[in-house]
Structure 1
Amino acid sequence: MLGLGGPYYHDASACLVVDGLIVAFAEEERFSRRKHHKDSRSCAVAAAFCLSEAGITLDQVDEIAIAFNPTWPEPTETCTDAELIAELLAPALFGRYRPRRVTVIEHHLAHAASAFHPSGFEEAAVLVVDGSGDGISATLAHGTAGGLKVLRQFPFSQSLGWFYETVAEHLGLGDWTSSGKLMGLAGYGRADRYALDFLTPRPGGYHLDLSRYGIRPDESVDDQYTDLRYYRRLKKAYAAAYTDLGIPPHRRARTYIGGRVVPDTGYRPEHADLAASAQDLLERCLTELAREALTLTGTSRLCVAGGVGLNCSANGRLAQLRGVEELFVQPAAGDAGCAVGAALEVALRRGDLTLPGPAMTTAALGPAFDPGTIRTVLDGYGLAYCDHGDNLPTVVAGHLALGRSVGWFQGRMEAGPRALGRRSILADAHNPLARDHINDHVKHREPWRPLAPVLLQEAAPDLIGTSTPHPFMIVARQATDAARELIPAAVHTDGTLRPQTVARDDADPYARLLASFAEQTGRPPALLNTSFNHEAEPIVCTPRDAVATFAAGPLDMLAIGPFSSTRSAATNCPTLPAHSRYVEARPLALIRSKRRIDSR
Structure 2
Amino acid sequence: MLGLGGPYYHDASACLVIDGRIVAFAEEERFSRRKHHKDSRSCAVAAAYCLSEAGISLDQVDEIAIAFNPTWPTPSEVCRDAELIAELLNPALFGHHRPKQVTVIEHHLAHAASAFHPSGFDEAAVLVVDGSGDGISATLAHGTTSGLKVLRQFPFSQSLGWFYETVAEHVGLGDWTSSGKLMGLAGYGNPDRYTLDFLTPRAGGYHLDLSRYGIRPDEAVDDQYTDLRYYRRLKAAYATAYIDLGIPRHHRTRTYTCGRTVPDTGYLPEHADLAASAQHLLEQCLTELAREALTLTGASRLCVAGGVGLNCSANGHLASLRGVDELFVQPAAGDAGCAIGAALEAAVRRGDLTLPGAAMTTAALGPAFSPGDIATALTDYGLAFHDHGDDLPTVVARHLSLGHTVGWFQGRMEAGPRALGRRSILADAHHTRARDHINNHVKHREPWRPLAPALLQEAAPDLIGTNVPHPFMIVARQATESAHQMIPAAVHTDGTLRPQTVARDDADPYACLLSSFAEQTGRPPALLNTSFNHEAEPIVCTPRDAVATFAAGPLGVLAIGPFLIRKDRPN
The amino acid across from 2:553 in the alignment is G
Q: What SS does structure 2 have at the residue aligned with 1:207?
A: strand
Match of 2:386 in 1: 386
Please state how far the C-alpha of 1:259 moved relative to its aligned partner. Answer: 2.1
Q: Deviations over 1:246-282 (max 9, x none)?
A: 0121102221112211111011110100000000000
Aligned counterparts, 1:376-455, within 5 A: 376-455=376-455
Q: What SS does structure 1 have at the residue aligned with 2:518?
A: helix
Aligned counterparts, 1:181-580, within 5 A: 181-569=181-569, 573=571
The amino acid across from 2:409 in the alignment is F
Q: Which 5+ residue runs of structure 2 have no aligned equivalent? A: none
Q: Deviations over 1:201-254 (max 9, x none)?
A: 000000000000000000000000000000000000000000001012110222
The amino acid across from 1:121 in the alignment is F
Once residues 305 and 508 of structure 2 are traced to their aligned partners in structure 1, the CA distance between those partners, rounded to angstroms, is 28
Q: What SS does structure 2 have at the residue aligned with 1:26?
A: strand
Once residues 7 and 255 of structure 1 are traced to their aligned partners in structure 2, the CA distance between those partners, rounded to angstroms, is 35
The amino acid across from 1:141 in the alignment is A
Once residues 358 and 479 of structure 1 are traced to their aligned partners in structure 2, the CA distance between those partners, rounded to angstroms, is 31
Match of 1:584 in 2: none
**TM-score of the aligned structures, taking structure 2 as reference length:** 1.00
Q: What SS does structure 2 have at the residue aligned with 1:354?
A: coil
Match of 2:126 in 1: 126
Q: Deviations over 1:495-521 (max 9, x none)?
A: 000000000000000000000000000
Q: What SS does structure 2 have at the residue aligned with 1:119?
A: coil
Once residues 248 and 94 of structure 1 are traced to their aligned partners in structure 2, the CA distance between those partners, rounded to angstroms, is 51
Q: Which 5+ residue runs of structure 1 have no aligned equivalent? A: 574-600
Once residues 66 and 155 of structure 1 are traced to their aligned partners in structure 2, the CA distance between those partners, rounded to angstroms, is 21
Q: Deviations over 1:142-181 (max 9, x none)?
A: 0000000000000000000000000000011000000001
Once residues 342 and 566 of structure 1 are traced to their aligned partners in structure 2, the CA distance between those partners, rounded to angstroms, is 43
Q: Deviations over 1:532-573 (max 9, x none)?
A: 00000000000000000000000110000000001112xx64
Q: What SS does structure 2 have at the residue aligned with 1:256?
A: strand
Number of equivalent positions: 571
Once residues 565 and 125 of structure 1 are traced to their aligned partners in structure 2, the CA distance between those partners, rounded to angstroms, is 48
Please state how far the C-alpha of 1:37 moved relative to its aligned partner. Answer: 0.2
Q: What SS does structure 1 have at the residue aligned with 2:179?
A: helix
Q: What SS does structure 2 have at the residue aligned with 1:459?
A: helix
Q: What SS does structure 2 have at the residue aligned with 1:345?
A: helix
Once residues 412 and 261 of structure 1 are traced to their aligned partners in structure 2, the CA distance between those partners, rounded to angstroms, is 31
The amino acid across from 1:485 in the alignment is Q
Once residues 373 and 567 of structure 1 are traced to their aligned partners in structure 2, the CA distance between those partners, rounded to angstroms, is 21
Q: What SS does structure 2 have at the residue aligned with 1:17?
A: strand
Once residues 520 and 105 of structure 2 are traced to their aligned partners in structure 1, the CA distance between those partners, rounded to angstroms, is 51
Once residues 150 and 373 of structure 2 are traced to their aligned partners in structure 1, the CA distance between those partners, rounded to angstroms, is 47
Once residues 68 and 264 of structure 2 are traced to their aligned partners in structure 1, the CA distance between those partners, rounded to angstroms, is 38
Match of 1:76 in 2: 76
Once residues 252 and 105 of structure 2 are traced to their aligned partners in structure 1, the CA distance between those partners, rounded to angstroms, is 40
Match of 2:8 in 1: 8
Q: What SS does structure 2 have at the residue aligned with 1:535?
A: coil
Would you identify which runs of 4 or more consecutive aligned residues in structure 1 move more than 3 Å? none
Q: Deviations over 1:78-108 (max 9, x none)?
A: 0000000000000000000000000000000
Once residues 528 and 6 of structure 1 are traced to their aligned partners in structure 2, the CA distance between those partners, rounded to angstroms, is 30
Q: Deviations over 1:120-149 (max 9, x none)?
A: 000000000000000000000000000000
Once residues 170 and 128 of structure 1 are traced to their aligned partners in structure 2, the CA distance between those partners, rounded to angstroms, is 25
**TM-score of the aligned structures, taking structure 1 as reference length:** 0.95
Once residues 87 and 252 of structure 2 are traced to their aligned partners in structure 1, the CA distance between those partners, rounded to angstroms, is 37
Match of 2:166 in 1: 166
Once residues 125 and 394 of structure 2 are traced to their aligned partners in structure 1, the CA distance between those partners, rounded to angstroms, is 43
Q: What SS does structure 2 have at the residue aligned with 1:92?
A: helix
Once residues 497 and 384 of structure 1 are traced to their aligned partners in structure 2, the CA distance between those partners, rounded to angstroms, is 37
Identical columns (%): 86
The amino acid across from 1:475 in the alignment is V
Once residues 9 and 225 of structure 1 are traced to their aligned partners in structure 2, the CA distance between those partners, rounded to angstroms, is 15
Aligned counterparts, 1:18-37, within 5 A: 18-37=18-37
Once residues 249 and 227 of structure 1 are traced to their aligned partners in structure 2, the CA distance between those partners, rounded to angstroms, is 26
Match of 1:116 in 2: 116
